[in-house]
Amino acid sequence: ARALLGTSKVDEDTTIYYPMYRMSNLNVAYGTSGLIYTEKFNPIRQMNLANPLLVDPGNGGAITGLLKMAGWLGVFKERATYGVTVSGGGDDPKNDFSVRRVSSVGNVAPRALASYQGGAITLDGANVWYQGTDGDGNDVRKMLSESLGGVIGDSVATDAIRKASGFVYADKYYLAVPYNSSGDCHTYVFDFTTGAWTRYTGWAPNVWEQWAESTDRLPYLYFGSRKRGDIFKVNEAIHYDSVNTSLGNITAQLVTPRYTAGERMYWSHFVFALEDSNDVTISARVTNEYGAMTEYTLLSIPVTEHTSAGVARPIRVPINREGYGIQLVIKSVGTGRCVVHPGTLYGVRRPL
C-alpha cells in the first residue's frame, strides 16, 4: 500500500517524505539527503528517525521516490537507481538490509515515477526509461522515449521538468511536462502495446488518478488541472480544453520507432490505413550516416477529406528519400477521431 502522509524537516539539508511503503513488515519513508527510514508496522507509532539506512549518501543526488519492485524496494535518486532488500528483522539498518546500485539512470521528477508490471517507469531529465527484472532475476533497463529524440528534455527547463507528473492507465503511460512558468504542458502518452508515442497539447495535468463510479464497468482516467481547480475526465475521442474550459482542438502526434537496415537505404513509400475526421499531416524523419536527422513533409490531408467513423481507407505515401534510418510521424489536429492502422514501409539498399 502507498499513501502520501506529508513531510517533516529534520535539518536544513534533510526533508523526510512519508509515502508509507510496506516492505516486509516495515513502514518505509525517505529523506532528500539519501537516507531511508524504517519502522516495524504499527499505525499508531511514529517513524523512528534516529537510526536511518544510508543509501550511497553523497552520490546520485537526492532521493526522489520509492517503489516496490519484484522482490525488492526501488530507491530512485536523481541520477541513479538502487535496490534494497530485507535480510533481517529491520531493527538494525546496518545488518538487516542489503543495498545495491542497480543503474546510473535516475528519476528527477517525484510524481513522474510509476509502476508497471513489476518494474518502474522513470524520467531522468531527458528521457523516459523502464527499469525492472526479467524472469531470471536479471536487471532490465530500456529507454522508452528513443523515438522522441530527446524532445522531452530539450523542450523544458530543469526546474519545470521536476514538476512533471506521470501515471499508468490501460497499458499506457501518461506524462505531463510543464514547459513554462504558467503551467502549460505537453502531455506525452506511451502505448506499451504498440510501442508508439502520442503528444497532446492544451491539457494542463497536475495530478492523475483513476476512478470508477458505481455505474462504470471499468475505471476512467482523470486529472487535476494546473491552471484551474477543475478535474477532467480523459476521453481520447474528444478534447475538453483544460485551460479555456471550452471544446477545442487537440493536437496529437504519433511517432513510430526509428527503422534502420544497417546500411544506406532508398526509402520509397509506405502504405497504411487511416480513419480520421481531423486535419492530418504525414512526415518522415530521415537520418544520414552521421546521425543527423532531417524531417520532410510528405502529405497533408484536410479535414474535408475525412472518413466516416469505423471506415478506414488505404493510403500510399511517397517518400523518395535516401538515408540510414527513418521515422514516420503522423500529426492530427481537430476535435474528432484519428485511428492509424498498421502498414508497411518499403525500401531498397542503396550502397555508396
Residues 57-66 have pLDDT tens digits of 888 888 888 8
- Grid cell, residue 76, equals 530512485
CB 77 within 8 A of CB 61: yes
pLDDT in tens, 115-145: 998 899 999 888 899 998 877 778 889 999 8
**Could you tell me which residue, 294 or 217, shows the higher pLDDT?**
294
Residue 185 — φ and ψ, nearest 5°?
A: -130, 150
CB 144 within 8 A of CB 132: no
- Cell 528527477 locates to 108
- The pTM for the full model equals 0.65
CB 243 within 8 A of CB 178: no
d(CA 117, CA 87) in angstroms, rounded, equals 24
Beta strands in 170-312 (DSSP E): 172-178, 185-191, 196-201, 205-211, 220-225, 231-233, 250-255, 259-276, 279-287, 293-301
Mean pLDDT for the chain overall: 78
pLDDT value at residue 269: 94
Q: Give the Cβ contact number of residue 123 at 10 Å.
A: 30
